[in-house]
Amino acid sequence: MISPAIERAINRAVTADELHEALHGEISPAERDEVHALIRWFTTRYPTAEERLAYVRQAFARWRVSNPS
């Protein structure tokens, strides 16, 4: 269960300026390094396209069970 404070933060409306900054702002070296580390982990854990698609299918199935329409 998500706390009310976190739910408010997730669902709040962002301003046009915040959106513009998120889309066009600089990515920090730390954030870039983190993304590269995640990519390396994922492609090492799931080295083939077949394994990556299987993971995505399983993750999507889990998401659908926990978030029914």
Range 30-38 contact pairs with CB under 8 angstroms and sequence separation of 24 or more:
none
Asked whether residue 69 carries a pLDDT value surpassing 80, the answer given is no
pLDDT band (50, 70, 90) for residue 60: very high
Asked whether residue 51 carries a pLDDT value surpassing 80, the answer given is yes
Distance CA 28, CA 2 (A): 28
Distance CA 34, CA 56 (A): 21
Domain locations along the chain: 4-66
Q: What is the pLDDT of residue 67?
A: 84
Q: What is the pLDDT of residue 68?
A: 81
Mean pLDDT of 49-67: 95
Residue 55 CB coordination number (10 Å): 13
- What is the tens place of the pLDDT at every residue in 10-48? 999 999 999 999 999 999 999 999 999 999 999 999 999
DSSP 63: H
